[in-house]
Amino acid sequence: MNLELFIAKRLITGKEHKISISAPIIKIAIAAIAIGVVMMLIAIASTAGLQLKIREKVSAFNGHIQIYNYDNNSSDISVVPVSLEQDFYPEFKNVDGISHVQAVATKGGIIRTEDTFEGMLAKGVGKDYNWTTFKEYLIKGRLPDFSAELNNEVLISRIKANLLNLEVGDSFFAIFLKDNDASKPPNNRKFEIVGIYDSGFEELDRDNIFIDIRHIQRMNKWSANEIGNFEVFIADFDQIEEKSNEIYGAVLSTLDTQNIRKKYYKIFEWIGLFDFNTALIIGIMIIVGGINMITALLVLILERTRMIGVLKALGAANWTVRKVFLYNAAYLIFLGLFWGNLIGLGIIFLQQKFRFLKFPNPEEYYMEYIPMDISFTTIFALNIGVMLLCLLMLLIPSYAITRISPVKAIKFE
């Protein structure tokens, strides 16, 4: 029988425990732990959710890793074609963890209407293109279908549609330079808008429209087996550097690779700062909760001074008495964790479902609502970490029990 645990249970369940002078202090300590856990869960979930959504948006336009010719210039426009006949296409078998490979090509141009004109970057895609992410961004119409014959369907952003005063079903003319040479007559193409998207990422939405890749192949006088570059999607984004190096070693020596972490390094450096902010919040909340628990423990020790004297007089060791109060404190921490998890996870679930928490300045975060994402492993690690750290903080104040004399403690009023 665990004597320390038995005594701690009697202290917790006793009526005098609920009406003692320490009761309000104990409630405050439990509330501090609960509020701290709520803050930590929301901070972790919002940070992970925001990082995930921004990564998804950038990869939706670029893939995770791009494969292209060394001879291409540094712009986003495809110049030197890549052969479609590669060992890694349409399925990358030489490298594990690759979920999808797609062929694309890009060409700069101008959209012209009767009233105005706007520059744009036409991204040519084919039947292998992964539209999964864009289904979430689609706000009007439908996604284009490039799986059959060559067609003039186009997907355009909300920003571009508003600038040109265009809607789903409208048509427009696009002008493309031949071989990027202004002295030659340009190529003219007429497109019909079948869908409008809004990813919230103005930097990418502002220019990108999606057309059939065969238009670009014809304008560039490429064959059906020539494309601008390949976009590779990986299963685990955390392995992007490792997979990028593996892919670079697996492709031909004439091909180069680049991952989105390097291409958009400023964005990824920015979202990397969120981890520091989250760690700071967690540290502050643990310290605040620990201080409140230290206060509660000292009050409990003071309130039970006579009991401590009796236990010592009966031969109980200092560590035995300390364990009684540490068990008691662990129960209070557990209560705080329980209510904190219940409230925190409830808010996260409701936010995921109803998206009622909004950014005051959505243009700075590339989305209107605060996204939430959290795993069971993170929740488990957070709870274990809070419990252990708080108990470690309580070891020092519990040392006060060793300074209590049994004779004086029994006389204590």
Predicted confidence (pLDDT) at residue 278 exceeds the cutoff of 70 = yes
Residue 371: burial class (beta carbons within 10 Å; 0-12, 13-18, 19+): buried
Predicted confidence (pLDDT) at residue 153 exceeds the cutoff of 90 = yes
pLDDT interval class at 20 (50, 70, 90): low
- The confidence score (pLDDT) of residue 409 equals 64
Predicted confidence (pLDDT) at residue 143 exceeds the cutoff of 90 = yes
Q: What average pLDDT does range 35-47 have in this prediction?
A: 95
What CA–CA distance (Å, rounded) separates 32 from 40?
12
With tokens 């048509």, the residue in question is 171
Please check whether residue 320 is in contact with residue 307, taking contact to mean a CB–CB distance below 8 angstroms: no
Q: Is 145 helix (H, G, I), strand (E, B) or coil?
A: coil
What CA–CA distance (Å, rounded) separates 9 from 5?
6
Predicted confidence (pLDDT) at residue 124 exceeds the cutoff of 70 = yes
- The confidence score (pLDDT) of residue 258 equals 92
In the Cβ-directed half-sphere of 304, how many Cα atoms lie within 13 Å?
27
Beta strands in 113-170 (DSSP E): 117-125, 138-141, 153-157
- The confidence score (pLDDT) of residue 411 equals 62
- The confidence score (pLDDT) of residue 400 equals 82
Predicted confidence (pLDDT) at residue 241 exceeds the cutoff of 90 = yes
Q: Which amino acid is at 312?
A: K
Residue 125: burial class (beta carbons within 10 Å; 0-12, 13-18, 19+): buried
Predicted confidence (pLDDT) at residue 17 exceeds the cutoff of 80 = no
Q: What average pLDDT does range 242-255 have in this prediction?
A: 92
What average pLDDT does the structure give for the chain? Answer: 88
Q: What average pLDDT does range 306-322 have in this prediction?
A: 84
Q: What average pLDDT does range 152-177 have in this prediction?
A: 94
Query: What is the Cα gyration radius of the chain?
Result: 31
Q: Which amino acid is at 303?
A: E
Predicted confidence (pLDDT) at residue 21 exceeds the cutoff of 80 = no
Q: Taking Cα atoms as reference points, which of 41, 42, 58, 36 lies closest to residue 271?
A: 58
What CA–CA distance (Å, rounded) separates 219 from 196?
25
Please check whether residue 66 is in contact with residue 232, taking contact to mean a CB–CB distance below 8 angstroms: yes
Give the Cα-Cα-Cα angle 298, 304, 307 (nearest 5 degrees).
140
Pick the more confident residue, 302 or 263.
263
pLDDT one-digit tens code per residue, 125-139:
999 999 988 899 999
Task: Indicate the domain borders of the chain.
Answer: 3-56+268-411, 71-253
Please check whether residue 194 is in contact with residue 139, taking contact to mean a CB–CB distance below 8 angstroms: no
- Name the pTM for this structure: 0.86
Predicted confidence (pLDDT) at residue 101 exceeds the cutoff of 90 = yes
